[in-house]
Amino acid sequence: MRALVLSDIHGNLEALTAVLAAAGEWDVLWNLGDMVGYGASPNEVLDVVRPLATLTVRGNHDRVCSGLTSTRNFNPTARAAAKWTMEALSAQNLEWLRGLPQGPLEPERKTPDEAHVSLAHGSPLNEDQYIQNMRDAWAPLRQMATAITFVGHTHIQGGFAQKDHDWHELRPRYGSRAGSEMSTLAIEPEMRYLINPGAVGQPRDFDWRAAFAIYHSEAREVVFHRVPYDVAAAQQRVRRAGLPERLAARLKEGR
């Protein structure tokens, strides 16, 4: 089984289009949330991703942009974008966002020998918490019952792994294969993982290219991918929408 794992699309249609073209064939699509907020194409992104996603976990921006919680904890730029997004979203998309489940979710396994997997937006213990370092990863790695938890929220591709006293950070080291760049992580038995596919629509690891991951359950590997996209077109849409300039500039900076 091949699962396409996406997170943090953030209304960036150009990045999503490039990712879907580069992903090749997959059996299921696991969507870790924050489909809207920041970017200028929230409805277009939802129209593409809604029918494709097998499972979707809500993100904090999905929650705030659909009016479920206030913008109080957002910085002024995120708040301005959330307000713009809420006004731009169709009634149908707003309603769909409001009905999304909070993580963690457990996808059904296709065969009994597949690893147990969970999906969350932020920490599986708290959807608003960022897992940025080993200290943040410690509690979820110890407490999660599943071997692999896919998470988003930080917009940084990679993750954390633990087996007994071996704790380490996972950082993709890309090699080129068939055009797009990728990095393969072998899933080891008894090791436990928090894996972040990176952000499709607003990477923050100083690499502007759209990020995603493919999980192969039989091969027991996760492949991290980076794919270039039409960033100038995405920036132009942000500027034309009258969203804060910072939201256009940061796309090319990858931060």
Interface residue list for Zn ion (CB under 5 A): 8, 34
Which of 14/34 has CB closer to Zn ion?
A: 34
Judge if the upstream peptide bond of residue 42 is cis by omega within 30 degrees of 0: no
- Tell me how far, at minimum, the Cβ of 190 lies from Zn ion, in Å: 31
Which of 34/207 has CB closer to Zn ion?
A: 34
Which of 20/35 has CB closer to Zn ion?
A: 35
Which of 7/180 has CB closer to Zn ion?
A: 7
Q: How far apart are CA 184 and CA 221, in angstroms?
A: 7
DSSP state of 101: P
CA distances from 113 to 109, 145, 208, 219 (A): 9, 16, 37, 12
- Tell me how far, at minimum, the Cβ of 97 lies from Zn ion, in Å: 14
- Tell me how far, at minimum, the Cβ of 213 lies from Zn ion, in Å: 16
- Tell me how far, at minimum, the Cβ of 59 lies from Zn ion, in Å: 6
Q: How far apart are CA 50 and CA 67, in angstroms?
A: 19
- Tell me how far, at minimum, the Cβ of 9 lies from Zn ion, in Å: 9
Q: Residue 35: name the closest of 54, 14, 18, 12 by CA.
A: 12
Q: Which residue is nearest to Zn ion (CB)?
A: 34
- Tell me how far, at minimum, the Cβ of 58 lies from Zn ion, in Å: 11
Close Cβ partners of 165 (under 8 Å, ≥ 6 residues apart): none
Which of 34/205 has CB closer to Zn ion?
A: 34
DSSP state of 186: E
- Tell me how far, at minimum, the Cβ of 8 lies from Zn ion, in Å: 4
Extract the runs of DSSP E, i.e. beta strands, from 181-239.
181-186, 192-196, 210-216, 221-227
- Position of tokens 């591709």? 157
**How many residues would you count in the chain?**
255
Which of 109/252 has CB closer to Zn ion?
A: 252
- The residues pairing with 150 across neighbouring beta strands, listed in sequence order, are 119, 195
Q: Is-contact 252 234, C-beta < 8 A? A: no
Which of 5/187 has CB closer to Zn ion?
A: 5
